[in-house]
Structure 1
Amino acid sequence: MSTPYDIPEAPEVLDRREGPYGEVVLRRHGGLLQIIANGCFLMDTSDGRSERRLVDAALAALDARVEDPRVLIGGLGVGFSLAHAAGQPRWGRITVVEREPSIIEWHRAGPLSELSARALADPRAEIVETDLVAYVHETSDTFDALCLDIDNGPDWTVTEDNDGLYSAAGLEACARVLNPHGVLAVWSARPSPEFEGTMRNAGFRHVRTEEIPVARGVPDVVHIGVRPG
């Protein structure tokens, strides 16, 4: 008997756009929706445990006395992090920064809306169409948690422009948008001891790495740190 997740031999391209940072493709592969950027596989709808754990780790690291904490999610992706945050009543405001207009459109009026429609209807949620690297340097808003999932990790960025986000200067910009005792959580497809060291050198405290089991291969991880008060 076939299932929704039986994978056919060839994926079906649902949309292909030339965005501000190159080509972005949405395709269906069996029961899965996949996002490909410049030929690099970014993510699909197969699981979502990593994206959910990213949000959970940030929330768990927050001081319990913070009321209605504000979370900034870097990267809309297939919408798992947004949907999970919207399902948690503790968050006071949920801001998602996404630089690819095509991905935003796929969520608002395309195939990915089936995953994010309820979250986007939540009055706490908003999407800001801009580059995250620029946003953390320029915004006057502050947040209690910053969840980053715009690359495959600090050592494997989607575009060269993102490299600076994981440097000392980039982490300083991240700390700038965090309130005192705010939490930085960074998703990665593999552990990065070097990035852990950069976080500590940038002044983050209680730095640690949480592993997320995957079906096969090296576990995904979330790097976590807390901005001093």
Structure 2
Amino acid sequence: MPTSYDIPEVLDRREGPHGEVVLRRHGELLQIIANGCFLMDTSDGRSERLLVDAALGALDGRVAPDLLIGGLGVGFSLAHAAAQPRWGRIAVVERERAIVEWHLDGPLGGISGDALADPRTEILKIDLVGYVNETSDTYDALCLDIDNGPDWTVTEDNHGLYSPAGLASCARVLRPGGVLAVWSAQPSPEFEGSLWNAGFQQVRTEEIPVARGVPDVVHLAVRPG
């Protein structure tokens, strides 16, 4: 018979413009569920940290590079970036107001509190797809963690981000020699091909071992100088 520990506790449930988002507690873990799809939890964070580290390592010693993070999530990527003094501006795009509020005034603030107080950090409450299409800002690195990968998106409209037009928009917000890093729950050779076809260079995939199943991965690509 299940115990109270086995049953996730719903801390908050919101209906937003892109569907339902839920914050749950399961034992010691906090979990974000989007439209009934498990998105992420606070169990580890290795892959989110590698996402940021891989982007920084690919910038070849660039001084105070500016970073754009697509997706606030549970805050691991932001917290890790803000803990590294080498980054310049750190902008995070998050379209779900509920997720932002769970960090500002809720239980996820335990992960992101110091990062949100960092003067380099800015939260942009906007849809990432629209932002990369319209902004005049440019960055040295763009780290995408808004889906379970290019082949497994949270909402249908996110598919466009991984299309030729979407990748062209990602390249547009990157400065010459800038790095695109995309987290995925599984490798995607097809997406590697899409990156090459979009004009990116030095395309490669780094694996992150997990306890069970196929590895998580980070797809990396560089905008030509």
Q: 1:89 is matched with which residue: 85, 90, 110?
A: 85
In structure 1, the partner of 2:76 is 80
CA RMSD after TM alignment: 1.0
Structure 2: how far apart are the matches of 1:43 and 1:223? Answer: 18
In structure 2, the partner of 1:45 is 42
Counterpart residue type for residue 43 of structure 2: S
1:147 corresponds to 2:143: yes
1:183 corresponds to 2:175: no
Show the 5 A alignment for 1:61-76. 61-64=58-61, 66-76=62-72
* 1:204–1:226 CA contact under 8 A, matched in 2: yes
In structure 2, the partner of 1:8 is 5
Deviation of 1:215 after TM superposition, in Å, equals: 1.1
In structure 2, the partner of 1:128 is 124
Structure 1: how far apart are the matches of 2:55 and 2:77? Answer: 11
1:59 corresponds to 2:84: no
Q: How many residues align?
A: 223
Structure 2: runs of 5+ lacking an equivalent: none
SS of structure 2 residue aligned to 1:10: coil
Deviation of 1:7 after TM superposition, in Å, equals: 8.6
Note the alpha carbon deviations across 1:66-104, whole angstroms, 9 max, x for none: 221000000000000000000001000100000000000
* 1:72–1:96 CA contact under 8 A, matched in 2: yes
Deviation of 1:63 after TM superposition, in Å, equals: 2.4
Deviation of 1:40 after TM superposition, in Å, equals: 0.5
Deviation of 1:19 after TM superposition, in Å, equals: 1.0
Q: 1:169 is matched with which residue: 165, 186, 192?
A: 165
- Percent identity, please: 78
In structure 2, the partner of 1:34 is 31
Decide whether aligned partners of structure 1 residues 7 and 151 sit closer, same or farther in structure 2, where only a CA change above 3 A counts. farther
- Runs of 4 or more, structure 1, over 4 Å off, are none
Counterpart residue type for residue 23 of structure 1: E
TM-score w.r.t. length of structure 1? 0.96
Counterpart residue type for residue 184 of structure 2: S
